[in-house]
Amino acid sequence: MPNKQTPYSSALHPKTTYNLTFKRPSDPTVAGGGANPTVLGTYLCNNLSVDPPQGSVVRRTGVDGEPTDMSIKAEVRKMSATVQLKLSGTPSLQAGDYCEDSFCTGSDGNPEGNIRFVVASCPITKDAGVPWTQQISCEIDYENSPAYA
């Protein structure tokens, strides 16, 4: 299994540049963002990296300090990428926007299905002479991902 320093890739997506369609929830107060999200457009995402599934072992102890049992605590999967904004009129991404794609394969090598990643942070860089970009950091939305429905 790759470590966090190695970009996670799968047989489905062995490269690191993708075209992803981002959407904005129509009602952020409703779980899943409402029924009619606004399609913001398709964005070119460079250096896309999805963390592999990871977890940590949590050991429990009894009142006298003796080990009683253990469990696995799953960590939130994250994705990061550099998003190019094509034109000055292209909407910038904001926290809460999301994309869905079948980025990863499961441990059996089969596709996990579409996974929803929600934008958590997205600073924008507007340097003259270069395409405007956003460094996005996203977290998986297990509750609303079609792969986990």
Domain annotation covers residue 100: yes
User: Rounded CA gap, 12 and 140, in Å?
Assistant: 18
CATH number assigned to the domain comprising residue 81: 2.40.10
Domain-embedded: residue 44: yes
Tens of each residue's pLDDT in the chain, 149 residues? 333 344 444 444 445 788 899 999 887 777 667 778 889 988 888 888 887 766 666 666 767 777 776 666 666 778 889 888 876 677 889 999 999 887 666 666 666 678 888 999 988 777 666 677 888 999 888 787 776 65
Q: How many domains does the chain have?
A: 1
Amino acid at 102: S
Is 64 part of any domain? no
Range of the domain at 106: 18-50+77-148
pTM for the model: 0.70
In 3-state terms, what secondary structure has residue 87?
coil
Examine residue 3 and state whether it is found in any structural domain, yes or no.
no
